Structure 1
């Protein structure tokens, strides 16, 4: 990793990298650049300073960076991969912690999943804030049938198509 970084010291070099994509190995036989075998989830990390990419990287190696933001990004990509796999299997994707987190919703918003339309008054932030509020409810039984419908509609018409079309999740 240091060889692919602009910095020549570990502490500075690790700040140059970001997790940029995830690929599922079909038979869990992926091999990390460090030599670890048996990877199912193979991440790409990209150097923000020079554009270098390292692939495949296992989540354990990303954890060695000691950066909370990278660990969160690993979790977001993993959740999006689960959304993709579940949708591809024709099963329902629910607004649960299995598929979503606050970080995943923020990522989806920042990446443009919540497109402006007449239902969100021309601003995707309204969809994002609504889903955050619903996701954060401790007592899910207080979600009304209208709110439940809106959640399902946003998941099926915005989130799933966005995730299925995203080349960073394969």
Structure 2
């Protein structure tokens, strides 16, 4: 005899389904996945307390049901869901074992006792692997390293440098994630400063090698081409540049990223200031913010309505895609002046020069890989946060 379905679960499923009967509605649900954060119990949509929560996906309506316990998943009486649930419960046992070891501060190794490929994939999808200097700000490198060592046999056979890196990832990221103690906000502030420091260090080393290469080249024929040094090559690879910087681009690089260590150190502090600014803005009354934004837009674009329409297109495409197209359809000199006046570039070393660089780049027929890289950084660090704060 089957256990009757709780009313809360029954109502929640029908509300998120296209069908209007329980038997037909349950057929729409096609996927179940484990949502785990290691921070204790919560309540299922049916009302019962559950320690580990699952999520169901409706393939017809596209809606998700969360949190839901394993007992309620079995109420759907779908073989496919039961099979998925069985796989998820195998993963759960691995997670429970690993979390228990973390809590008891026991030794953890990347072997078949503590890990499997599914668990590593799950940790990757949940964001347990994070960017930092050790992986050159590419967390997928750590993910592939764990897979490589696991598939290769065992932790003990790993090369010393790889083993040291995995121990760092376990201590700094995976263990705090399993304990539910990771502070994403503090991590992002630290990451921002760490990344800028690393990039500035690369620029300084590359610049020294460029100067040395230029000095040697001047002593010989003008058509002499010298190979790049290791620091300059590392700089090119990190930023994805496909050609060496021209003299003009070197001048822009010094303007945008600082001519000396003092200027560069100013830029490395910007993330903390940006966070503080975001916190101040978030504490403002939403209605007042909206009224102020409307007034600023109307005031600035009063005599240039076509630019106000362009800004509207930019805001619409950003909200739709999350991207900012660097084209004259969405950007213009007037808009760069607007962003400058609204202090979107205030945390850059030379805000007015950033504006000038964007204006010149927008006029260019072909952009170099260096220009593209710098433009992407400015759009991400300056204009995207500004658009995020728009609530009109």
Which structure's residues are more often strand, by fraction? 1
Shift of 1:119: 0.6
* C-alpha spacing 1:114/1:44, structure 2 compared with 1 (3 Å): closer
Which structure's residues are more often helix, by fraction? 2
Distance in 2, Cα, partners of 1:48 & 1:11? 11
Distance in 1, Cα, partners of 2:30 & 2:114? 28
* C-alpha spacing 1:64/1:162, structure 2 compared with 1 (3 Å): same
Q: Match for 1:66 among 51, 75, 80?
A: 80
Question: How many residue pairs get matched?
Answer: 154
> Is 1:83–1:99's contact at 8 Å kept on the other side of the alignment?
yes
1:81 matched to 2:96: yes
* C-alpha spacing 1:13/1:44, structure 2 compared with 1 (3 Å): farther
Structure 1 spans left out of the alignment, 5+ residues: 26-32, 34-40
* C-alpha spacing 1:16/1:133, structure 2 compared with 1 (3 Å): closer
Say which SS state the counterpart of residue 152 (structure 2) adopts: coil
Structure 2 spans left out of the alignment, 5+ residues: 41-45, 182-392
Shift of 1:155: 1.7
* C-alpha spacing 1:113/1:75, structure 2 compared with 1 (3 Å): same
Partner of 1:30: none
Give the TM-score of the pair, scaled to structure 2.
0.33
Return the index of the structure with the highest Cα Rg: 2
RMSD: 3.8
> Is 2:91–2:118's contact at 8 Å kept on the other side of the alignment?
yes
Shift of 1:70: 4.0
Paired residues for 1:98-137 under 5 Å: 98-137=113-152
Shift of 1:12: 2.1
> Is 2:70–2:85's contact at 8 Å kept on the other side of the alignment?
no
* C-alpha spacing 1:83/1:123, structure 2 compared with 1 (3 Å): same
* C-alpha spacing 1:66/1:91, structure 2 compared with 1 (3 Å): same
> Is 1:113–1:159's contact at 8 Å kept on the other side of the alignment?
yes
Q: Match for 2:163 among 138, 148, 156?
A: 148
> Is 1:116–1:122's contact at 8 Å kept on the other side of the alignment?
yes
Q: Which one has more relative contact order, counting CA pairs under 8 Å at least 6 apart?
A: 1
Give the TM-score of the pair, scaled to structure 1.
0.67
* C-alpha spacing 1:10/1:18, structure 2 compared with 1 (3 Å): farther
Deviation by residue 1:37-74 (Cα, 9 ceiling, x = unmatched): xxxx954333334544465425x949964355544333
Q: Match for 1:164 among 175, 179, 196?
A: 179
1:48 matched to 2:54: no
Shift of 1:139: 6.3
